[in-house]
Amino acid sequence: MSTSASLPRTPVPPTPPPPPRPRSNILSIVLLSVGLIVLICVLTVWAGLRFLAHGVRINVSDEGAAKKAVSINTPFGGIQVNKSSDVSEAALGLPVYPKAARLHDDSSASVSLGLPGDAALHVAAAKYQTADSIEKVKAFYQDRIGKEVTNYKEKDREGKTVFEIKVGDDVKVVALKDQFDGTRIELVHISAGGGEAD
């Protein structure tokens, strides 16, 4: 007889399901990081705007149709714009043609741009008109500044005769344009550095 008769097997209980895995916190960490970055950016922009609002000063003075000045001062520098009929010959650093009359339009002004430290940029510009021919006006400027001229163009793209004097960061330009009733004269002086252009 066989002893290996079938013995009842004890039932094996089913394996319990694995315990639930802890949820991943990666999504929460990413959302928290993005929220923190946005909050820091908003606070930085807000603080910067408050700083500028308290540090920027704008002054406008209107002394009639012939003179108007605007100055903007910031903690980083400032800008002054003078739309004036009396931009001086000294500020231009160029001789004004003797028989020329000053044109009063929006393109005549002096601008001073102050930058942090001692850096500054000054621009003075004025326009004049004379009944004299362009040849006569050209001869005047060749006589007065001809030895200093570093670049000369007989006719540029706009049909102007241009004298340019460039020494370092100092640039002076005389532009002459022939017109039916005479000659238009444009004088510009651009200087960088600590000196003021009046």
pLDDT tens for 18-32 read: 776 666 677 778 888
Paired strand residues for 129: 101, 184
pLDDT of res. 195: 45
**pLDDT tier at 79, thresholds 50, 70, 90:** low
**How far, in Å, are 32, 102, 150 from residue 105 at the CA level?**
58, 9, 29
Q: How far apart are CA 187 and CA 189, in angstroms?
A: 7
The residue-averaged pLDDT of 177-188 equals 87
Token digits of residue 191: 């200087």
User: Mean pLDDT over all residues of the chain?
Assistant: 75
d(C-alpha 99, C-alpha 39), whole Å: 65
Average pLDDT rounded to a whole number, residues 128-133: 90
Identify which of 121, 100, 60, 75 has the alpha carbon closest to the alpha carbon of residue 187.
Answer: 100
Instruction: Dig out the tokens for 165 from the structure.
Output: 């004097």
Give residue 102's pLDDT band: very low, low, confident or very high (50, 70, 90): confident
Q: What is the pLDDT of residue 114?
A: 64
pLDDT value, residue 110:
62
Give the domain 57-192 fold: Protein Transport Mog1p; Chain A (3.40.1000)
pLDDT, position 53: 64
pLDDT for 142 equals: 92
Give CA–CA dist 61/83, Å, rounded: 10
CA-wise closest residue to 85 among 101, 100, 104: 104
**Domain coordinates in residue numbering, the chain:** 57-192
Provide the Cα torsion 101, 102, 104, 108; round to 10°: 160
> What pLDDT, in 10s, does the model give residues 152-173?
888 777 788 889 988 888 888 8
CA 44 to chain centre: 23
**Residue 99: half-sphere exposure toward Cβ, Cα within 13 Å:** 10
Tell the residue number behind the tokens 């004049």, with chain if given. Answer: 128
Better-scored residue on pLDDT, 103 or 150: 150
